[in-house]
Structure 1
Amino acid sequence: MRVLVLGGDGYLGWPTALHLSRRGHDVAVADNFVRRQYDYELGVESLVPIESLQTRIAAWKDVTGESIGIYVGDLTDADFTYEMLRDFRPEAVVHFAEQRAAPYSMIDRKHAVYTQVNNVVGTLNLLYAISEVDRDIHLVKLGTMGEYGTPEIDIEEGWLEVEHKGRTDRVLYPKRPGSFYHLSKVHDSHNIEFTCRIWGLRATDLNQGVVYGQQTPETVLDDRLATRFDYDAVFGTVLNRFVIQAVLGHPLTVYGTGGQRRGIIDIRDTVRCIELACENPAERGEFRVFNQMTEAMSVQELADTVARCFPGGVEIDHLDNPRVEKEEHYYNVVHTRLLDLGLTPHLLSDTLITSLFDVAKRYADRVRPEALLPKVNWRDHASPVQET
């Protein structure tokens, strides 16, 4: 299968491209490298050094003999998007190419507008390009569990059967996102569903939980193939942050009570989910949604797990929560469709966390401790959170 991975230089895009290539697919990646620019803007960097995309692709050729194509450009440039699809003629497009951090989108007006324009316009350009170049292309779009928010009812896989005044209908599950980033993903989902219904496109929306881990069977083949390990308070995932703090001997910083429950997933399962979605495409005109997570844990439970696994004493600090979110809430998510397609999940284990400690220890000299504390306040976009 010919698969085009958009955002192929990123944390998830790069290991996904390697996984699909190793599984025998003809893969090309596209990126505008703006994720690297965010590091320059924020004064942070990946804990694990990452090579340029060109070096990574050459290394993959050296190690495996497999080739990966490359396109450099921006989805908000419609001409580039059309030409890329016409040139590569993919059967599936995996779309990771969006600004992905909720805190980044909440810094101020400029960052909120940028996030919405970049994500929504880029996806709209892609939908139009698919419609005009080849409507048989299967779009596999990375969404987020954050689209749903934390409702007081079970979260279904994208759709909800409702009964109202004696009549029933099937509607998209109501969304109550918690940031401008998550809201951009809701707009994407609605735009994609609309084009499936009106133009007959085929799409799979993957509402993914919080990803943890840094290594896949492909990225460990050579240091030049490594993907990102983000730990900062803007782009870093919570488990990565806790691991770094434990290794440095810092308290684990839990926002609020830590009762916030989230879906989580191992990076190895992420790349497998993408493969399953590509190899089992949606029907023409179908907008299907998979809740891409393997288990749910609270932030406090994650902190407790890291503290238990670390070989030494670890303290846990509770900070004022800079986000506006429920800290204690109901959370029950249906996530069976990927399991039905054959996913065998890696659940969070002591072994996995120990391996993350090893990675963090190896590169501990690259940590910028000031980046670990939150600086973006949901309530007051004009005043960053003060360091304590």
Structure 2
Amino acid sequence: MRILVLGGDGYLGWPTALHLSQVGHDVAVADNFARRQYDFELGVESLVPIESLQTRVEAWKELTGKEIGVYVGDLCDHDFTLEMLRDFRPEAVVHFAEQRAAPYSMIDRKHAVYTQVNNVVGNLNLLYAIAEVDRDIHLVKLGTMGEYGTPNIDIEEGWLEVEHNGRTDRVLFPKRPGSFYHLSKVHDSHNIEFTCRIWGLRATDLNQGVVYGQQTPETALDDRLATRFDYDAVFGTVLNRFVIQSVLGQPLTVYGNGSQTRGIIDIRDTVKCIQLACENPADAGEFRVFNQMTESMSVKEIAETVARNYPGEVTIENLDNPRVELEGHYYNVKHTALMDLGLSPHLLSDTLITSLFDVAKRHAHRVKLPALQPKVNWRTHASPVQET
């Protein structure tokens, strides 16, 4: 199968491209390298050094004999997007190419507007390009569990059967996103569903939980194939931050009381989910939603798991929460579709956390301590949160 991975230089896009190539698909990647520019803007960098995309692709060919095509450009440029699809003629397009951080979108008006324009316009250009080039192309789009928020009912896989005044209908599950980034993903989902219904496109929307882990079997083959390890308060995941803080002897900084619960997933399962979605495409006209997560944990539980597994003393410190989010909320997510397709999940384990400690220790000299502290406040139009 010919698969085009958009955002193929990123944390998830790169290991996904390697995995798809390794299992026998003909893969190309596209990127505009915006994620690398965010590092320059914020004065941070991946804990694990990452090579240029060109070096990565060359290393992959050297090690495996497999080629990955490269397109450099921006989805907000419709001409580029259209010509890329015409040139590569993919059977599936995996869409990772969006600004992915909720805190980044909440810095100020400029970053909120940038996030929504970049994400929504890029996705809309892609939909138009697919409609023009080949409506049989299967769009596999990375969404987020954050689209749903934390409703006081079970979260279904994208759709909800509703009875109202004696009548029933199947509707998209109500959304209550928690940031301008998550809002952009909601807009994407609605635009994709609309084009499936009106133009007959086929799409799978993957509402993904928080991803943890830094290695897949493919990236572990050579240091040149490494993907990102973000730990800062803007782009880093909470597990990564806790691992770094443990290694450095810093308190684990839990926002609020830590009862906020989220879906989580191992990076090895993410790449497998993408493979399963591509190899089992949606029908023409179908907007299919999978909740891409394997378990749920509270922030407090994640902190306690890290502290329990670190071979040394670890303390936990509660900070005022810079985000606006419910604590002590109900959270029950249906996530059976990918299991039905054959996913055998990795659950958060002592072994994985130990391996992350090893990665953090190896590169601890690259940590910038101020980057661990939150500076973006949801409530005040980006007045900086005071460092503690």
Shorter-chain-normalised TM-score: which range?
A: over 0.9
TM alignment of 1:351-366, pairs within 5 A: 351-366=351-366
Structure 1 CA distance, aligned partners of 2:96 and 2:74?
12
Contact in 1 for aligned 2:139/2:203 (Cα 8 Å): yes
Amino acid at match of 1:322: P
What residue in structure 2 maps to residue 3 of structure 1?
3
Question: What's the CA shift for 1:382?
Answer: 4.1
Q: Distance in 2 between matches of 1:288 and 1:25?
A: 22
Deviations 1:44-97 (A, max 9, x none): 000000000000000000110100000000000000000000000000000000
Is 1:74 aligned to 2:74, yes or no?
yes
Q: Which residue in 1 is equivalent to 2:116? A: 116
Q: Secondary structure at the match of 1:284?
A: coil
How far 1:288 moved relative to its partner?
A: 0.4
Backbone CA RMSD of aligned residues: 0.3
Aligned counterparts of 2:383 and 2:110: Cα–Cα separation in 1: 14
3-state DSSP of counterpart to 1:354: helix
Measured against aligned partners, the alpha-carbon deviations of 1:242-276 in whole angstroms (never above 9, x if no partner) come to 00000000000000000000000000000000000
Q: Name the aligned partner's letter for residue 282 of structure 1.
A: A
Residue 292 of structure 1: aligned partner? 292
Structure 2 counterpart SS, 1:143: strand
For residues 53 and 143 of structure 2, the distance between their equivalents in structure 1, rounded to whole angstroms, comes to 24
SS at match of 1:360: helix
Q: 1:382 to 1:100 in 2, by over 3 A?
A: closer
What displacement does 1:327 show?
A: 1.3
Show CA shifts across 1:215-234 (max 9, x none): 00000000000000000000
The residue number in structure 1 matching 2:45 is 45
Q: Distance in 2 between matches of 1:383 and 1:229?
A: 27
- Confirm or deny: 8 A CA contact 2:234 2:374 kept in the other structure: yes
* Residue in 2 that maps onto 1:27: 27
1:105 aligns with 2:123: no
Partners of 1:296 and 1:94 in 2: CA distance: 25
Deviation at 1:292, TM superposition (A): 0.1
For residues 383 and 350 of structure 1, what CA distance do their matches in structure 2 show?
A: 38
The answer for the alignment partner of 1:256 in structure 2 is 256
Q: In the alignment, what sits opposite 1:304?
A: 304
Please name the residue that 1:149 is paired with. 149
Any idea what SS the aligned residue of 1:317 has?
A: strand
Letter in 1 for 2:122: G
Q: Contact conserved, 2:376 with 2:382, CA < 8 A, in 1?
A: no
1:57: which partner in 2? Answer: 57
Contact conserved, 2:135 with 2:201, CA < 8 A, in 1? yes
Structure 1 stretches of 4+ with a deviation exceeding 2 A read none
Letter in structure 1 aligned against 2:107: I
TM-score if structure 2 supplies the norm length? Answer: 1.00
Equivalent residues of 2:106, 2:382 under 8 A apart: no
Q: 1:203 — aligned with what? A: 203
How far off its partner does 1:328 sit? Answer: 1.1
Measured after TM superposition, the shift of residue 173 of structure 1 is 0.1
The answer as to 2:208 corresponding to 1:214 is no
CA distance in 2, matches of 1:48, 1:63: 20
TM-score (norm 1): 1.00
Q: How many positions carry a matched residue from both structures?
A: 388
Letter of the 2:224 partner, please give it.
R
- Taking a change above 3 Å as real, the CA distance of residues 215 and 382 of structure 1, as seen in their structure-2 partners, is closer
**Distance of 2:28 and 2:190 partners within structure 1:** 27
| Separation in 1, partners of 2:309, 2:56 | 33
Q: Which residue of 2 aligns with 1:224?
A: 224
1:246, 1:383 → 2: CA distance? Answer: 29
In the alignment, is residue 87 of structure 1 matched against residue 92 of structure 2? no
Q: Verify the 8 A CA contact 2:144 2:182 in the aligned structure 1.
A: yes
Q: Any idea what SS the aligned residue of 1:254 has?
A: strand
Distance in 1 (CA, whole Å) between partners of 2:245 and 2:188 is: 35
- Equivalent-residue separation in structure 2 for 1:110 and 1:37 (angstroms): 16
| Partner Cα distance (2:324, 2:82) in 1 | 39
Amino acid at match of 1:304: E
Cα distance in 2, alignment partners of residues 253 and 163 from structure 1: 43
Match of 2:265, SS state, is: strand
Separation in structure 2 between the aligned mates of residue 339 and residue 121 of structure 1, nearest angstrom: 32
Using the alignment, how far apart are the partners of 1:157 and 1:37 within structure 2? 34
Q: Deviations over 1:272-303 (max 9, x none)?
A: 00000000000000000000000000000000
Q: Report the Cα offset of residue 381 of structure 1.
A: 1.6
Q: Secondary structure at the match of 2:303?
A: helix
Look up the SS of the partner of 2:18 in the other structure.
Answer: helix
Note the C-alpha offset of 1:138. Answer: 0.1
- Following the alignment from structure 1 to structure 2, what is the Cα–Cα distance between the partners of residues 237 and 259? 16
Letter in 2 for 1:128: Y
Counterpart Cα distance in 2 of 1:160 and 1:11: 32
Secondary structure of the residue that 1:359 maps to in structure 2? helix
Q: Is the 2:120–2:187 Cα contact (8 Å) retained in structure 1?
A: yes
Separation in 1, partners of 2:333, 2:210: 14
**What CA distance in whole angstroms lies between the structure 1 residues aligned with 2:125 and 2:17?**
22
* Structure 2 gap segments, 5+ residues each: none
Task: Give 3-state SS (helix, strand or coil) of 2:127's partner.
Answer: helix
CA contact (8 A) 2:309 2:350 kept: yes
Q: Which one-letter code corresponds to 1:59 in the other structure? A: A
Alpha-carbon distance, 1:130 to partner: 0.1
Change (3 A) 1:62 1:301: same
- Cα deviation per residue 1:135-193 (whole Å; 9 max; x = unaligned)? 00000000000000000000000000000000000000000000000000000000000
